[in-house]
Amino acid sequence: MPATSPPPLEVMRTPAPRTALRHLDPLAMARNLWRHRELAARLTAQEVAQRYRGSYLGTLWSVITPLLMLAAFGFVFSVVFDARWGAGAGGDRPGEFALTLFAGLIAFGVFAEVVNRAPSIVLSAPNYVKRVVFPLEILPLVAVGSAVAHSLISVGILLVANWALLGSISPTLVLLPLAYLPLILLCLGLGWFLASLGVYVRDIGQAVGVITQVLLFLSPIFYPPSAVPERFRAIVELNPLSTILSGFRRTLLWGLAPPWSPWSGLTLLTAVVALLGYAWFMQTKKGFADVM
């Protein structure tokens, strides 16, 4: 009988890391998002273009809406209430309160748009869920990109109004991307988390809407942090939106750099939030098709 060859030796393999831990790798997350950058950019541009498609004025509404809001704020707070920001770095010149308020609303508007859309963003795209090859994780990224794109139009209107009313343009405008950075990271993390949670818990959308309305008044948008009583000021300072709003006002209006120490800590914190939200989404998305 011919000699039978011995069975091949099994190659020793290093156990693969657990999926959840693999998703917590920031480099792997960055590589995955970079790989799908062209698709994300195309979907973002498509969403921006489609927002007002079918209306008579089209994309002009993205200019008219913030312009009317700024005019309303200017009349109500500068003419009717004669409000002043008080301890704000820009002084107490007439009309400045409306500009300061509007700058805060630009940042808050990005946050509110993303978190309010996130719980339904996967549910509204069932065709994408059924496609195994489609990267669902870029949907919150597209929502953030669309919100930021529209906010830049408001930024342009604010700069023109600041020049027209106060005769100045902030020299720290070039630092605006740094003010956007923690806001984008925070929106991405919450967007991934809420997008996944919204698939399994359908009521989360209603809860998020209420929380967003509460945050509108708990964040220093209509008032400076110094106006909050001392015993409650710590609550306002713990709100991550407080530092974000301050960064927008300082770079857009007051000619100051973002508060570096709070900004650095918040950017690191929001980066962790983004990574955890991404890992949560990637770990739970395998069950989306079963519950939709």
- Average pLDDT, 10 consecutive residues per value, the chain (292 residues): 44 44 88 95 90 65 78 75 61 75 94 96 88 88 96 93 87 96 98 96 92 93 88 88 95 93 96 97 90 78
Quick one: angle between helices 96-121 and 204-218, nearest 10?
A: 170
The H or E element containing residue 109 is helix 96-121
Q: Which amino acid is at 121?
A: I
CA 175/CA 251 separation, integer angstroms: 6
Q: Which residue has the tokens 């939200």?
A: 277
In sign, the C-alpha dihedral spanning 64, 68, 74, 75 is positive
Contacts (Cβ under 8 Å, ≥6 apart) of 193: 118, 276, 277, 280, 281
pLDDT at 1: 43
CA 31/CA 39 separation, integer angstroms: 14
pLDDT at 77: 72
How far is the first Cα of the chain from the last one, in angstroms, to the nearest whole number?
Answer: 61
Q: Is residue 12 part of a domain?
A: no
- CB neighbourhood size of 275 (10 A): 20
Q: Is residue 123 part of a domain?
A: yes
Cβ pair 169, 159 in contact under 8 A: yes
DSSP 149-179: HHHHHHHHHHHHHHHHHHS---GGGGGHHHH
pLDDT at 54: 60
Q: What is the DSSP letter of 222?
A: S
**Structural domain boundaries, residue 189:** 55-285
Q: Is residue 141 part of a domain?
A: yes
pLDDT at 80: 74
Q: Which amino acid is at 89?
A: A
pLDDT at 196: 96
Cβ pair 118, 211 in contact under 8 A: no
Cβ pair 162, 172 in contact under 8 A: no
The H or E element containing residue 62 is helix 61-73
Of 27, 19, 5, the C-alpha closest to 271 is: 27
Q: Is residue 105 part of a domain?
A: yes
Q: Is residue 20 part of a domain?
A: no
State the Cα angle at 241 between 33 and 224, rounded to 5°: 155
Torsion angle defined by CA atoms of residues 173, 190, 118 and 238, in that order, rounded to the nearest 10 degrees = -70
Q: Which two tokens stand for residue 259?
A: 């508060």
Cβ pair 151, 212 in contact under 8 A: no
- Global confidence as pTM: 0.87
Of 111, 121, 249, the C-alpha closest to 185 is: 111
CA 285/CA 201 separation, integer angstroms: 14
pLDDT at 121: 95
Cβ pair 35, 28 in contact under 8 A: no
Q: Is residue 117 part of a domain?
A: yes
pLDDT at 12: 34
Q: Is residue 23 part of a domain?
A: no
Quick one: angle between helices 138-166 and 96-121, nearest 10?
A: 170
Cβ pair 118, 195 in contact under 8 A: yes
How many domains does the chain divide into?
1
Q: Is residue 6 part of a domain?
A: no
